[in-house]
Amino acid sequence: MGTGADIITILGIAVGLAMDAFSVCLAAGLVISEPTRRHYFRLSFHFGLFQFMMPVIGYFAGSFVETLIRNYDHWVALALLAIIGGKMVWESFGEKEEGSDGLKDPSKGWSLVVLSVATSIDALAVGLSMGVMGKPILAPALVIGVVCAGFSILGLRLGRHAGALLGKRVERLGGLILIAIGIKIVLEHAGLI
């Protein structure tokens, strides 16, 4: 990776990119009443993997892909997070089955894939910029992926403890958090925050 300054820069980028995944895992921890090792593994593995792959894809895809997505990547992230979050809010008003909390597990199926993509779109631009600067990509992408996986575990753990305190309205709160993350991404892109 290079000098100490380069390592600090990569760690800073990794932490910044991991914040959306951390927030999504925090929301997931609110929804999953008793996360198991499988929940921790699925969320941290997928978020870390996508955060690793996106810079590599951006690096090799070059400016062609960047010019195609630059103007609307933030809208794609908002749409994906709003769909999942809106569905969670909608389902929170429905009746729960007897003996079940009735909450959908966001660490499975298409929800997991959509959340993984939505939280890692910004990493494409990081890979592109590293390619333009002629910097190597594999070691930084690995650091980004590992840091994201670690923050995902931390978010799920903190969300689990907060969920125990909040009770039955956690699915609604989790959905609203996902929608808020999408709005934050759009506002950051517009330079408003």
pLDDT at 5: 59
- Region 67-94: what's the mean pLDDT? 75
Beta-carbon contacts of 86 under 8 Å, excluding residues fewer than 6 positions away, are 175, 179
Q: Do the beta carbons of residue 55 and residue 144 sit within 8 Å?
A: yes
Q: How far is CA 150 from the centre of its chain?
A: 12
Q: Which residue has the higher pLDDT, 56 or 2?
A: 56
| Alpha-carbon gap, residue 32 to 103, rounded angstroms | 7
Question: Is the confidence at residue 148, as pLDDT, over 90?
Answer: yes
Query: Where does residue 2 fall: left (phi above 0), alpha (psi -120 to 50 degrees), or beta otherwise?
Result: left
From 50-54, 101-105, 142-146, the region with the lowest mean pLDDT: 101-105
Label residue 165 by pLDDT band (50, 70, 90). low
Which is nearest to 31 in space by CA: 147, 149, 177, 148?
177
Question: Is the confidence at residue 73, as pLDDT, over 80?
Answer: no
pLDDT at 38: 94
The pTM (predicted TM-score) of the whole model is: 0.74
pLDDT at 102: 45
Label residue 99 by pLDDT band (50, 70, 90). very low
